[in-house]
Structure 1
Amino acid sequence: MADSQVLRILFVEDVPEDLELAKRKIKSSGIDFEPFLAETEDDFLKGLYEFKPEIIVSDYMLPEFDGMRALELALTYNSNIPFIILTGSMNEEIAVEAMKAGATDYILKERISRLPFAIKEALDVKEALAEKKKAIDDLESMSEIVQQSPFSVISTNLEGTITSWNKGAERIFGYTNKETLGNNVSLLYHADDTDVLQNDVIEPLLAKGYNQIQTRLLRKGGELFIGSLSLWLVKDGVGNPVGMVGYTYDITKEVEAENELRIKDQAIESGIDGIVLVDLNGNLTYANRAAYKMLGYTNKDEVIGKSVKKFVVSEEDGEWILNELKEHAFKSEFNALRKDGSEFPVRLSASRIRDSVGNIISYMGSLVDITEKKEAEEALETSEKMYRLLAENTLDCIWSMSMDLVFTYSNYAIHDILGYLPEEWVGSNLRNHCDEENFMKMMEYVHIGMQNAPSSEGILFQVEMLNKEGNSVPIEIMGKIIFDENGTPVSIQGTSRDITKRVEAEKALKESEERLELALMVSEHGFWVWDLDQDEFYFNPKSYIMLGYEDDEFPMSIDAWGKLMHPDDRKLVIPEIIESVDNGKPFSFEIRMATKSGDWIWVLAKGNTFNLKSGKHWAIGTLVDITESKKTEEQMLLARIAAEEANRCKNELLANMNHELRTPLNSIIGFSEVLIDGGLGQVNDEQEKYLRLMNNEGHRLLSLINHVLDLSKIESDGITLNFSKFDPVLVAESVMESTEMLAKKKNIRTSMSTDRNIGTITADVDKFREILYNLIENALKFTPEEGNIIVVMNMRDEEIEVSVQDTGIGIAEKDRERIFDAFVQVDGSNTRRYGGAGLGLVLVREYLKMHNGCIRVESELDKGSKFIFKIPVYPIRKEKSVYKNPVRRGICRSKPQRHSQAPKP
């Protein structure tokens, strides 16, 4: 095709973008053309007959039309018009079908850069075909044309034997005419491609008479190259195939350029940094995936065509960027704007793209999200501020010095440690701040640091330095020599701290340990320490002496000591000790251990686990010889067994008393009352006197038996309370009436005073009556004739308080608690004088205790006594343990002693 010719190209395409891309590719190759677009069959026919195209470029599939139909119409109109199928969906089968149907070439849209070459090739083929037709008319002219063609033109017979070889073939393949004529064409391609050429070249050629393919070819020296191969089937006059003619040209550079371009496109598209292209108006024409993702968009179409100003926070920044681009390439950092309106910092590297003559045709920018960099810089700045603040406020002195031992830096802590201000310290020499001994000690550590250079760690050591007043101060130093990249020492850096308190504490600890060691040496108990981290044991000398051994006579280990335990104890105790230590719980065991002499002694082993401040874990405990206490315990056990046997005998006795004593007493009392009442005849005064004496003593003995039995039941928990509601005033009046005869006999005046607020209470009415009866009977017993007794009843919150006051003989202060013990009277002579066994007050106390009540007494010798008891209005049901009292269960706490006043008659 002549350069000045305007090529008429009929495009069959329905995607404007694909059409525009194809036109740009053709135009960029230097082809001057006039396009005509057809999207339907009618448009295509109009283009054929009116536009008269010189070449047709058609998509394979359109919504209302397709490439195969267009090919059919084109061949019908003019079979010489080159027809190129440009599609994005064609596979090999469709391509073969299209080529068989008469298509000149097919190109995938992803390889659209080949389109200009294909057009040129198709036009060249068209021209070649025209030349061929002309050559038929003028064979000699045609032969010369073939010979001078820049393309390789080769002819073979059907077996592949080369029959002609032009100059272009010599130039492309490197073989001369003589070297190839008569040889098989297989010398021009790689042996591995034999099957491919047979299937993709020869068979389609035989089928349709023409074929075109890109394939690997082989030069004379063995060099492979990519060639565009076009073949025609040569037929004789009657249409029988007799040979093949093919022409070839080298497209290696074009393919390599296309591959290189594809690789660059993929590299740019998949790069980590964002890449954008901007036209001269400041609008984006391209953005790779990293760029539009960075800006918060999901695809590039959302950003293409938009101004760069849309993607910067400040419009002034956008103007500045565009102005700078017009002037020169540059780098800058600014805040970019995402789709959602959020801001983030980016670094832009911008450059300008020029055409072949130096004109600026576009701008390119590389974008890097520097959010993490900015955050790191801010964090670094914050960290530096923090460390500066820390260095200036830490209690440790941070310092540095040159290799000639002159201090170059110190924080303010040097003032607190040695009394120097930082400005006084900096510039001074280390030698001036310590005596010769400590200076030489520090120099030894410097020497060690130099030997371990340059990867040595810091060295920790203690020395004494002189403060500003010249006094020695114990200092702990962590120092490190700093080396440059060449391994040369450049400075010494480190920290120092005043360890005066630590040294004093260590001294005190050492003294404490010595005191403890002395204490353990004289201790009567065995003492042991178990280092749980090192699994090491220590036993003090007493631990050995206790078992009859000398110090260190056997190993200090739990196994060795375990073997001294009684086998029955060892299998139970050892696992529990280990478990207690593992769980950090205290333990205490009584075990038998063998002495050196073979005897068994009882040992109390106690221990607990401790987590020391130093981080160590110790178990510490004692060993105490409790052999004597175990013997005492055994004796007490035997005594308890004996007591239990005695108690059993007592219970048998009480059971016998209940039957053997009550039965005859009931008969004695009953028959004596019959005789007194004259049931067996009248008795005289003397007989009646003795009968009444017999009856009274019988009642007294029966009362004693009943009291003893009741007390026994209480002690054996054999009595239960029967709660009911009752009026305590009525019960008290009933008791007063039952004791009226005895009061009249001694001419004792009795009275009762009650609170108006007293209502019903819930208690055991029989026990309440017996409590009052025993107290009133006791008052009558110890009150002389013409005396007074008064009963007072009041409400106190949730309790009822009852007092029985008499003008009797009184009770000494030392005896006030004893009167509530069984079988006790304050004076033995009273038993003979007043009678009784001393059980009434015991039963009163026990009955009150069962009600969760209490009793107390106020008394003065020869003036009288006052018994006050309290009982809850409502029952409080509790375990028996509620009656325990540290002083005396069932006894009310005493109030300040007041002298009892005799009640008024």
Structure 2
Amino acid sequence: MPKYLQQAQRKKMVKGQRTEQKKTVLQKQPYDVFRVLLIEDNPGYSEVIRIILDKAEDIRFDLKGVKMLSEGLDYLGEDGIDLILLDLKLPDSQGIETFDKVYAHAQNVPIVVLTVTDNNELALEAVQKGAQDYLVKEQVDQKSLVRAIRYAVERKRIEETLRDTNLFLQNILESSFAISILYTDCEGNILYWNKGAENIFGYKAEEIIGHHKTNILYPRDDAETKNKIEEVRSFIFKNKQGTRCEIRETTKDKRKLWIDLNLTPRFGVKGEVIGILGIGQDITERKRMEEMLLKAAQEWRTTFDAISDVVCLIDSERKILRCNKAMTDLLQKPFIDIIGQNCCELMHDTCEPIEECPFERMRKTHRTESIVLQRDARWFGVSVDPLLDEDGNPIGGVHIMSDITKEKEVEKIKSELISNVSHELRTPLSTIKEGIALIDDGALGSLHADQKDMLSRVKKNIDRLSRLINDLLDMSKIEAGRMELKKSSVNIPALVAEVLASFRDQAKNKKIEFAARVGKDIGPLYIDRDRISQVLTNLIANSVKFTPANGRITVGIKDKKKEAEISVADTGIGISAKNISGLFDRFSQFNRDFGPGERGTGLGLPISKEIIELHGGRIWVESEPGTGSTFTFSLPRLSQDEIFRECLTAGLQEAEDKNCPLSLLVVRIKNIEKLERDHRMETVFEVLQAIEGLIAKTLRRKSDIVSRYKYGEIIIAILMDTPKQDALFVKKRIRQAIEHEMYEKIWPKDIELFLDIVTYPDDALDGVALINKISEKFWGEERTDAETKGGRDG
């Protein structure tokens, strides 16, 4: 850019002034100098030009005059010339050649031709070749000369800008090797073809420019593609707007490519379409991948629908994302009516998950969970595998639902057979056992040593057969779903000590050391005492059986906050890796070669696993041959509210099955917060515990259950098969017992008790409604008629 322009722009930026767009670039501040080279052989005319320029008011000119073309060309070698005034008739050059030589030396400097009246044609030719303007010498004055200089410089600047812009755009177009850019006229003839098009299609620009696009890029036998491109062209000409399409085009070496083509119309001065610019990208590889993915998706869908089991994918909000044909057949609904629906509503007609929902359990455990459920007259095994995010958190699950109705029927027949046979064997076995005991005691005469030895072996086999029968009966109950857990609050360290004591003699005979490692604050667990004792007995018996003399067996109890872990570790012969996988299978036997009398039934571990899982826990083993084994099982630690809800659910299920009523006797200390402030908290806890024990003692039936609710503040007795009228008599009896105890014991005398009865189905039809009813009674309006002070209630 000329120096005077740079100076003008810098001054304008400093002052923060905005110039109007139409102002010429030659408007200068005082003392700015505009350098002009005048090539004129007439000294007189040169002086006229000098005088005219000196009189210019807003521009200061620095005029350099030369008489010869050669002198002018030498001067042009210097920097800083802003404009050339050129006479075409010079002593050393005549005509248009004069302009050609000057222009060759200074293409970037604007040139104004000076001519006489009869030389207009020559001047016009110079303008056509690049001169910015021409002036007739006889007509030059100050105004016309300055205006011509200004316009010449401005036109030259615009020309340079356009040339630079075109060059920039050309470089962009030619450097886009991965993008084809072509321009066609209205008939479809190719007028522009960039390097990217050459690279993609293989045709050089000189080979294709001037040819019709359809004849080159679209084979004659590809009528579909030709029709499509004609439709696209028609759309552009009709609607005068661009469009985009994916189309097949052919390369020079006959390869067919998929091109993502953007087509934009170019308009004439009247708004008519005069050509189309096409920008294309080779998407052949993408289309190939899309076809592969589509084919894979179709194959996956076919395979997915061929699975006879019901399979569906569910997100974290229990909404179904995908399902197979087996699910649509089961629900008798089309695919579109299943996707996006809540699985609980579809499968169970409820908005909330069922109590033993494997999906909800999986969200807590982050591992596969399964249940068996009945739908109409069919049985299904349902398992849920977790879908985890990068952090290992579940974001959904894969539900697999298998129809196991036939298996259930077979299991039922088998279980009934085993149960019947076992029961039939029990009676004669008991008779044989009693007879052997009489003989062994000498009731039928004295025995010598060989006879006693024989009877001892017979007795051991009878005991083994008895255990086998008991295990078979347990397994048949489990398979039939008839094993019921009778849960209560159990001191687990005491239970472990009791089971260990039963093995003291066996351990002593084999010189095996027993040890117990109990963690701190191991509180009671809500479990079936007898069944967990059975599990411990199985595990410890195995350890004693497979631990050689001078070994060690350690029972550990750890508190894991939400659960307790009980482990039985020994220094026995261990279990090989190949046997561990089938360890909990029925009738599985391992390490049978460890001496005589060591064979078991093969049902102890499977039964133990089922018992633990019925409690909501899990069991696993860690072992190494020659080192020993550690069997560990976990038992969930339930809150008092969870225990109550579990008892209530079981009670309601029994009441529904037997079509009988169920009543809840609810006892609450209304002013418990005041008592805790006025007395020791331990005292209030002892009172609640005493009332709970008193209610349990006063109830006369084993089926009645006493539990706590609302963090232990409420004591609730679940009275099975008890209508409301009978429950009111129970309430009166409980009230009298509490009243008597309050006078006998040193309890705070300001206790305010609240007693009431809620009955199923009179007051509510399900557990949630019963609990809501309790809340209404205790936290709703005050009920002075049911209030007790000092042990008296209304």
Q: Check whether TM > 0.5.
A: no
Taking CA–CA contacts closer than 8 Å with sequence separation of 6 or more, which of the two structures ends up with the larger relative contact order?
A: 2
Q: Which has the larger radius of gyration?
A: 1
Shorter-normalised TM range: 0.3 to 0.5
**TM, length-normalised to structure 2:** 0.35
